[in-house]
Amino acid sequence: MEPFVLTLAENIHIDVVPAHLNGKDLVYHLFIDGKAHGCLIPYIDDNAQLAWRTDDNIDQVLVQTIGRMIDHYEQFDS
């Protein structure tokens, strides 16, 4: 699990650092311009689909968009 960079827009690059929360649950810490902006937590929803949540103040549309980008990166680019 190495850190990687996602490009949200032409001038918005998000550094993503995967980590294990409390030694077990996977989380993705987000950094923009070196500043922490919270973390995303993948989980399986009631329909057995991958979903994303956060305990931080991040708009849910962004949570889902960045979550899909992380999933795509993990599946195809890592």
Q: Using alpha carbons only, what angle is made at residue 75 by residues 73 and 78, rounded to the nearest 5 degrees? A: 55
Task: Give this prediction's pTM.
Answer: 0.87
Q: Which tops the pLDDT comparison, 65 or 23? A: 65
Phi, psi of 31 (to 5 degrees): -130, 135
Is the pLDDT at 78 greater than 70? The verdict is no
Which long-range contacts link 15-23 to residues 24+ away (Cβ below 8 Å)? 16/70, 16/73
Using the structure block, give the residue that is written with the tokens 């294990």.
20
9-38 mean pLDDT: 90
Is the pLDDT at 23 greater than 80? The verdict is no
Using the structure block, give the residue that is written with the tokens 């998000």.
14
Per-residue pLDDT tens over the stretch 43-72: 999 999 999 999 999 999 999 999 999 999
